């Protein structure tokens, strides 16, 4: 029976919410893009309706989205475990989407508990899956027996065993592969999954803890989502370190935990292991030396402190000398008074080496001992800013900006004002981009005033805005099929709108708005007020020594946007503006960048005016006394229209200014 017929037949036997009627109408018309969101809306009204999820799964299948279909069949099966046809569809889709183990489990269950017809189908499918798996396990098992150091053979055997529902064998060979290549941190996720399926929950948790504290961001992010949402206990850290002993960051985290719970002997043991494994780590050597010094073991401490003194690190050397001078007083006082001095130094050193979790702990200890140290507050702000905990960072910057030290107060104040708009209930933004173009002999200006409202922790903000898009000239004649119409060079409008924009995610954001364009000129047409709908996505990124950098060097920037505008015949325009060049060393407060431009603009309707490429040299400059967002630019460009191959030259001189409160 055809999929559409099955869907329509199933609808007749289920009580469905009203939104589903439109979904089935769209399905009859084979408009799957319209049917899918309608089915999802219907499911929101009736989440326990297995038929709706089944029919949404079939719709996804027709649209070619097999993974989404699989997930809907899985949901339908949870609601109605007796639905054999859905179970078979789910099992086949699991196999097609490489979830072989789940496909095999489902077919095996149907083979033993299903109806006679379903048992035949499931049995044949299970045999088709098992035969290559069994043959592959035997083949790669022989390879491993002959070449136990063959990494690829262990990986193939582990994956085949996992597909054959043998998690114990899979874990054995994932572990062998990990021992051969401990830098392949994805293997920790594979190990965690196999151990979990085998019922070894503590080992699985240890693998996730180790993966979450590794150097590969993608693996660490996945592991954090799967690991317990709490700080691991000391035995869990030790089990993870047995699996990943070279994970120095995780060992430091265990050391901090042991110190916090006053297990100094255990902390000392872990520090000795760390200094033996990483003798070049002067931070760990200094920490161990200070710990031994606080415990009155001066001879033992000097073994490590001498190593630090010979390292040539001026900051650590100064702290060690300061601690050694106060050593005699340790007999009358606890170890705590000597730690804060070292804690600040350790925090600064950890920050310099990008050990941000370590830096946060050290600096918080230093702040508890000396709450008036404004430099510690400032550094805590930067540490939490780097850790992407901006709300905590904002509080530290707020305290540091009240410092009597002008340097600290100035730096903290700038950071505070940069971060505060992101957490304020209301945020107001103004920007303007006026420039002169020699090609058109015209002065253009673009700008916007926007007020945004923050809705708690939701990932988007509603806003209201007024945009200005205009130029000085009235228009230019453009020849079109013998006629001489007048064309404008800009929209010559104030555009009012209400919209919503997302927060930035990996330097990208999206927005959409509805409003009206109010013209201040009758060119290009006489409409005074025109409905205006816009939406877009934006991405920006910079590398190297950008304009605000204190040091010279090479840099690159990319600004990419795609914008839908209803007023241009529902056209979508995409443009990419790229610069690469050199930032000159600041001179008397003047900051200068020399660079090359490479720009591209295209649109969905392939209109000649909206498809062109341009390149050429540019200059960007500003003075340090100016507001940070005020930048002057001069660009000399050579361009070509992609539709007509006609070329043009243009010199653009202008400035950019923005203000956020």
- Residues 508 and 409 placed together within one structural domain of the fold: no
Does 131 reside within a domain?
A: no
In a domain, 216, yes or no: no
Q: Is residue 127 part of a domain?
A: no
DSSP string, 533-579: EEEEEEEEEEEES-TT-SS-EEEEEEEEEEEEEGGGTSEEEEEEEEE
The pLDDT confidence band at residue 357, using thresholds 50, 70 and 90, is confident
pLDDT for 551 equals: 66
Q: Which residues pair with 521 in a beta bridge?
A: none
- How far is Cα 380 from Cα 362, in angstroms, rounded to an integer? 10
Q: Which band of pLDDT confidence, cut at 50, 70 and 90, is reported for residue 531?
A: confident
Tens-place pLDDT, residues 429-476: 888 989 999 988 889 888 999 988 878 768 888 999 999 888 887 655
CATH classification of the domain holding 77: 1.25.40.10
Share of the chain above pLDDT 90, in %: 15
Mean pLDDT, rounded, for 344-365: 74
Is the pLDDT score of 326 beyond 50?
A: no
The conformational region for residue 466 under phi > 0 = left, psi -120 to 50 = alpha, else beta, is: beta
Per the domain annotation, does 221 fall within a domain?
Answer: no
Cβ atoms of 636 and 609 closer than 8 Å: no
Give the bridge partners for 576, in sequence order.
560, 600
Confidence at residue 182, expressed as pLDDT on a 0 to 100 scale: 85
- Say if 560 falls within a structural domain: yes
Residue count of the chain: 661
Residue whose tokens read 């100016």: 626
Confidence of residue 525 (pLDDT cuts 50, 70, 90): low
Is the same domain home to 453 and 365?
no
The answer to whether residues 452 and 564 belong to one domain is yes
* pLDDT at residue 10, as a whole number: 43
Structural domain range at position 73: 3-97
Same domain, 463 and 315: no
Q: Indicate whether 516 and 654 sit together in one domain.
A: yes
Question: Tell me: the pLDDT tens digits for 375-407?
Answer: 888 888 888 877 767 778 878 888 888 888 888
Q: Check whether 167 has a pLDDT greater than 50.
A: yes
CATH number for the domain including 580? 2.40.128
CB 210 within 8 A of CB 203: no
Q: Both tokens of residue 408?
A: 């600290």
Q: Mean pLDDT, to the nearest integer, of 248-261?
A: 81
pLDDT above 80: residue 118: yes
556 assigned to some structural domain: yes
Residues 388 and 481 in one domain: no
Q: How confident is the model at residue 325 (pLDDT cuts 50, 70, 90)?
A: low
Global pTM value? 0.43
pLDDT tens per residue, range 285-301 = 887 888 887 777 788 78
| pLDDT recorded at residue 436 | 93
Query: Any idea of the CA torsion for 341, 343, 346, 351, to the nearest 10 degrees?
Result: -120
Mean pLDDT of the region 89-107 = 83
Q: Provide the sign of the torsion angle of the four alpha carbons 600, 601, 605, 607, taken in this order.
A: negative
Number of domains in the chain: 3
CA dist list (Å): 414 to 84, 411, 503, 504, 551: 64, 5, 21, 21, 19
Average pLDDT over residues 306-329: 70
Q: Is the pLDDT of residue 621 over 60?
A: yes
Q: Which of 41, 69, 97 is the last residue of a domain?
A: 97
575/604 same-domain check: yes
Min mean pLDDT across 220-234, 328-342, 458-472 is at: 328-342
Q: What pLDDT shows up at residue 464?
A: 94
Lowest average pLDDT, out of 47-51, 256-260, 636-640, goes to 256-260
Q: Are residues 256 and 345 in the same domain?
A: yes
For 381, half-sphere exposure in the C-beta direction (CA atoms, 13 angstrom radius) is: 25
Provide the mean pLDDT of the chain: 80
The Cα–Cα gap between 431 and 653 comes to 17
Q: Are residues 379 and 432 in the same domain?
A: no
**Residue 642 included in any domain:** yes
Per-residue pLDDT at 4 = 41
End-of-domain residue from the set 388, 407, 422? 422
Q: Kindly state whether residues 299 and 365 are assigned to the same domain.
A: yes
Select from 647, 513, 633, 649 the least CA-distant residue to 581: 633
Q: How confident is the model at residue 11 (pLDDT cuts 50, 70, 90)?
A: very low
pLDDT of residue 548: 64
> Can you count the helices (H) and strands (E) in the chain?
24, 14
pLDDT at 88 over 50: yes
Mean pLDDT of 358-363: 78
Q: How far is CA 178 from the centre of its chain?
A: 27
pLDDT confidence bin for 574, thresholds 50/70/90: very high
- Are 413 and 487 in the same domain? no
Residue 262, SS3? Answer: coil
Residues 633 and 541 in one domain: yes
The angle subtended at Cα 655 by Cα 657 and Cα 430, nearest 5°, is: 20
Is residue 562, in this structure, part of any structural domain at all?
A: yes
Minimum mean pLDDT among 230-234, 400-404, 550-554, 593-597: which range?
A: 550-554
Please identify, among 392, 422, 452, the residue that sits at the C-terminal boundary of a domain. Answer: 422
Rounded CA separation 172/189 (Å): 14
Bigger pLDDT: 195 vs 550: 195
pLDDT in tens, 259-277: 777 788 888 888 888 888 8
- 612/322: higher pLDDT: 612
d(CA 260, CA 609): 66
What is residue 652's predicted lDDT score, i.e. its pLDDT?
A: 94
- In the predicted model, what is the mean pLDDT of residues 23-40? 84
Give residue 368's pLDDT band: very low, low, confident or very high (50, 70, 90). Answer: low
pLDDT at 435: 92
Average pLDDT over residues 206-232: 80
């Amino acid at each position: 029976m055809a999929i559409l017929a099955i869907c329509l037949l199933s609808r007749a036997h289920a009580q469905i919410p009203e939104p589903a009627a439109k979904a089935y109408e769209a399905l009859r018309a084979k408009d799957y893009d319209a049917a899918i969101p309608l089915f999802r809306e219907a499911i929101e009204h009736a989440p326990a309706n297995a038929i709706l999820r089944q029919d949404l799964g079939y719709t996804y299948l027709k649209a070619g989205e097999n993974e989404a279909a699989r997930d809907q069949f899985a949901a339908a099966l949870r609601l109605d475990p007796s639905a054999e046809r859905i179970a078979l569809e789910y099992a086949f889709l699991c196999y097609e989407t490489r979830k072989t183990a789940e496909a095999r489990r489902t077919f095996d269950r149907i083979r033993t508990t299903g109806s006679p017809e379903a048992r035949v189908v499931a049995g044949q499918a299970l045999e088709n899956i098992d035969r290559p798996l069994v043959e592959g396990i035997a083949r790669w098992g022989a390879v491993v027996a002959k070449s136990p150091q063959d990494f690829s053979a262990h990986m193939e055997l582990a994956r085949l065993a996992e597909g054959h529902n043998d998690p114990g064998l899979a874990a054995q060979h994932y572990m062998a592969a990990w021992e051969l290549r401990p830098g392949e941190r994805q293997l920790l996720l594979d190990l965690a999954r196999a151990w979990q399926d085998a019922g070894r929950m503590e080992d699985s948790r240890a693998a996730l803890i180790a993966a979450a504290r590794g150097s590969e961001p993608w693996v660490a992010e996945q592991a954090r989502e799967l690991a317990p949402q709490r700080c691991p206990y000391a035995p869990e850290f030790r089990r993870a370190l047995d699996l990943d002993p070279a994970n120095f960051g995780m060992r430091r985290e265990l050391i901090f935990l042991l110190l916090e719970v006053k297990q100094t002997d255990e902390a000392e043991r872990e520090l000795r292991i760390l200094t033996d494994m990483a003798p070049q780590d002067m931070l760990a050597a200094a920490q161990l030396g200070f710990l031994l010094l606080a415990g009155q073991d001066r001879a033992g401490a000097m073994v490590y402190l001498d190593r630090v003194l010979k390292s040539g690190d001026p900051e650590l050397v100064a702290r060690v000398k300061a601690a050694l001078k106060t050593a005699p007083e340790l007999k009358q006082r606890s170890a705590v008074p000597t730690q804060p001095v070292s804690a600040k130094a350790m925090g600064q050193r950890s920050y310099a080496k990008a050990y941000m979790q370590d830096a946060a702990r050290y600096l918080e200890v230093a702040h508890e001992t000396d709450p008036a140290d404004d430099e510690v507050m400032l550094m805590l702000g930067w540490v939490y800013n780097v850790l992407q905990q901006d709300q905590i960072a904002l509080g530290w910057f707020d305290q540091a900006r009240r410092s009597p030290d002008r340097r600290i107060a100035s730096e903290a104040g700038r950071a505070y004002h940069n971060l505060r708009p992101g957490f304020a209930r209301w945020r107001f933004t103004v920007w303007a981009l006026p420039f002169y173009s020699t090609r058109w002999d015209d002065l253009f200006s673009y700008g916007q005033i926007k007020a945004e409202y923050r809705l708690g922790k939701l990932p988007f903000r509603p806003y209201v805005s007024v945009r200005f898009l205009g130029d000085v000239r009235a228009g230019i004649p453009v020849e079109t099929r013998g006629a001489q119409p007048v064309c404008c060079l800009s929209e010559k409008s104030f555009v009012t709108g209400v919209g919503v924009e997302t927060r930035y995610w990996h330097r990208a954001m999206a927005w959409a708005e509805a409003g009206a364009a109010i013209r201040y000129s009758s060119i290009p047409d006489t409409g005074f007020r025109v409905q205006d709908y816009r939406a877009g996505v934006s991405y920006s990124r910079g590398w190297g020594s950008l304009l605000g950098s204190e040091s010279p060097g090479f840099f690159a920037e990319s600004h990419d946007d795609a914008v839908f505008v209803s007023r241009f015949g529902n056209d979508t325009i995409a443009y990419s503006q790229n610069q690469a060049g050199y930032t000159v060393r600041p001179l008397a407060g003047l900051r200068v960048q020399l660079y090359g431009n490479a720009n591209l603009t295209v649109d969905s309707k392939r209109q000649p005016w909206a498809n062109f490429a341009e390149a050429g040299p540019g200059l960007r400059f500003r003075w340090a006394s100016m507001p940070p967002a005020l930048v002057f630019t001069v660009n000399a460009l050579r361009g070509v229209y992609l539709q007509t191959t006609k070329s043009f030259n243009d010199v653009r001189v202008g400035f950019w200014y923005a203000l956020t409160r």
